[in-house]
């Protein structure tokens, strides 16, 4: 399956992306995580992306589109993929629609994980990230971690773009530039929305059930042909 995960910062795209990746056995591709890895490795792409990310702005479309196109050409995407945090603008969505036929693919669904702006700010302020491997945690749910990553033992820090001030700016950027992408997918008839303010497992089960319905409709469509 080919999916994109949409939603406000803090909606749970990363968490659900990981769970869905295991369930569907396709890679979970987070553009934010790719940019943060590039920043950690110290190259020119990371330096460029950091200028925008730390201010809560979007990295320019040409850069974001190129890293996604390159990633989708890799072998592990042959069976499908889950894009998390891409597309974030209508030009990115159009570029994805143009790139997929070249790879012999089409999107099955855009999954919109809905949370309120208040919940987004609360979750972002509770979020910490491993400065070594990039694993993400909600501090309130993991009091046992004591500042160290459960995966690699690296120090947990707040993302520079997760301060309240920058987070509020990111919400505005979402409403201005990313919200129109929801309309774009709704018009294509592939937008699926789930209530993201429930426990992780309930949100996951809801997404899986909705994807199953989409698959069933696709099977019926194929059988009718
Ligand atoms: P995320 O980890 O998805 O919250 O992304 C963190 C930051 O990376 C965003 O606030 C943007 O600055 C940048 N970013 C991630 N994905 C994109 C994208 N598709 N287009 C532009 N900027 C992006």
- Domains of the chain from N-terminus onward: 2-116+166-224 (3.40.50.300)
Mean pLDDT, all residues of the chain: 96
What integer pLDDT is reported at residue 2 of this predicted model?
98
Both tokens assigned to 140: 């309130």
pTM beyond 0.75, yes or no? yes
DSSP summary character for residue 143:
G
Instruction: Examine the pLDDT at 141 and tell me if it is beyond 90.
Output: no
Q: Which pLDDT value is given to residue 146?
A: 87
Rounded average pLDDT over 210-217 = 95
CA 45 – CA 15 distance, rounded (Å):
25
Mean pLDDT calculated for residue range 86-114: 97
Mean pLDDT of 81-92: 98
- What pLDDT, in 10s, does the model give residues 145-197? 889 999 999 999 999 999 999 999 999 999 999 999 999 999 999 999 999 99
Residues 123/18/141/210 CA torsion (nearest 10 deg) = 70
Kindly state if the Cβ of 174 falls inside 6 Å of ligand 1: no
Average pLDDT over residues 91-118: 97
Top mutation candidate among 12, 17, 31 for ligand 1, by most atoms within 8 Å of CB: 31
Interatomic CA distance for residues 112 and 96, integer angstroms: 17
Tokens of 41: 């490795």
Catalytic residue numbers, as ranges: 13, 88, 127, 159, 170
Is residue 32 over pLDDT 90?
Answer: yes
Per-residue pLDDT tens over the stretch 113-136: 999 999 999 999 999 999 999 999
Mean per-residue pLDDT, 79-87: 97
pLDDT at residue 225 in the model: 84
Give mean pLDDT, residues 41-49.
Answer: 95
Q: How far apart are the CA of 225 and the centre of ligand 1, in A? A: 40
Is the bond into 122 cis (omega within 30 degrees of 0)? Answer: no
pLDDT of residue 144: 85
Q: Residue 211 — pLDDT band, cuts 50, 70, 90?
A: very high
pLDDT at 193 (0 to 100)? 98
Buried b (16+ CB within 10 A) or exposed e, 203-217: bbebbeeebeeeeee
HSE, CB side, 13 Å, CA atoms: give it for residue 129: 20
Burial grade of 118 (CB within 10 A; 0-12, 13-18, 19 or more): exposed
The pLDDT of residue 31 is: 98
Tell me, using a 6 A CB cutoff, whether residue 166 lines ligand 1: no
């Amino acid at each position: 399956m080919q999916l994109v995960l949409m939603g406000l910062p803090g909606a749970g795209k990363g968490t659900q992306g990981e769970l869905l990746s295991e369930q569907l056995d396709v890679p979970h591709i987070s553009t934010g995580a790719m940019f943060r890895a590039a920043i950690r490795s110290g190259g020119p792409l990371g330096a460029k992306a950091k200028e925008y990310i730390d201010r809560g702005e979007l990295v320019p479309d040409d850069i974001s589109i190129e890293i996604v196109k390159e990633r989708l050409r890799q072998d592990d995407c042959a069976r499908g993929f889950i894009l998390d945090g891409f597309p974030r603008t209508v030009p990115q969505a159009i570029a994805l629609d143009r790139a997929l036929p070249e790879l012999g693919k089409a999107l099955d669904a855009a999954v919109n994980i809905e949370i309120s702006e208040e919940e987004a700010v609360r979750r972002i302020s509770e979020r910490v990230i491993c400065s070594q491997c990039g694993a993400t945690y909600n501090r309130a749910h993991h009091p046992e971690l004591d500042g160290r990553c459960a995966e690699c033992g690296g120090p947990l820090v707040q993302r520079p773009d997760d301060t309240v001030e920058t987070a509020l700016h990111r919400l505005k950027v979402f409403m201005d530039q990313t919200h129109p992408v929801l309309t774009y997918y709704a018009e294509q008839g592939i937008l699926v929305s789930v209530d993201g303010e429930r426990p992780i497992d309930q949100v996951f089960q809801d997404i899986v059930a909705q994807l199953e319905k989409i698959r069933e409709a696709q099977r019926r469509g194929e059988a009718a042909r």
